[in-house]
Amino acid sequence: MTIGQDTQSRNAYPKVRRMRFRFGQPEPMSHHFVQDDIPLTHLIAILSGAFPPGEESFIRSVRKFSDDIKDPVLKKRVAAFIGQEAMHGQQHRALNDQLIEMGFPIVRIFTFGPGALRERGLIMVENLVPRQVHLAVTALAEHYTSTLAVRVLGNEAIQNIPGDPEVWNLLNWHAFEELEHKSVAFDVFRATGGSEVVRIVLMAGTYAFTIPVVSLGVAASILSDPRSWRPIKVVRQSIRLYRGPIVKGLMKEIRPYMRPGFHPDDIDTNALLERWRRELFGAHGELLDRLG
Q: 94-111: per-residue pLDDT in tens?
A: 999 999 999 999 999 888
Residue 21 lies in a domain: no
Q: What average pLDDT score do residues 200-225 get?
A: 97
Distance, CA of 28 to CA of 102 (rounded, Å): 10
Question: Residue 38: inside a domain, yes or no?
Answer: yes
Q: Answer whether residue 244 is part of any domain.
A: yes
Whether residue 235 lies inside any domain: the answer is: yes
Nearest to 161 by CA among 2, 26, 290, 34: 34
Question: What average pLDDT score do residues 200-220 get?
Answer: 97
Q: What pLDDT, in 10s, does the model give residues 154-197? A: 999 999 999 999 999 999 999 999 999 999 999 999 999 999 99
Total domains in the fold of the chain: 1
- Within a domain: residue 140? yes
pLDDT, average across residues 228-232: 97
Look at residue 271 and tell me if it is in a domain: yes
- Decide: 23 and 167 in contact? Cβ < 8 Å: yes
pLDDT at 243: 97
109-154: pLDDT as tens digits: 888 777 778 888 999 999 999 999 999 999 999 999 999 999 999 9
In a domain, 23, yes or no: no
pLDDT of residue 45: 97
Question: Which carries the bigger pLDDT value, residue 26 or residue 289?
Answer: 289
User: Alpha-carbon torsion 90, 130, 69, 148, what sign?
Assistant: negative
- The mean predicted confidence, pLDDT, of the chain is 94
Distance CA 63, CA 53 (A): 15
Mean pLDDT of 54-80: 96
* Domain housing 70: 28-290
Q: Tens digit of pLDDT for each residue in 15-37? A: 999 999 999 988 899 999 999 99
Residue 22 lies in a domain: no
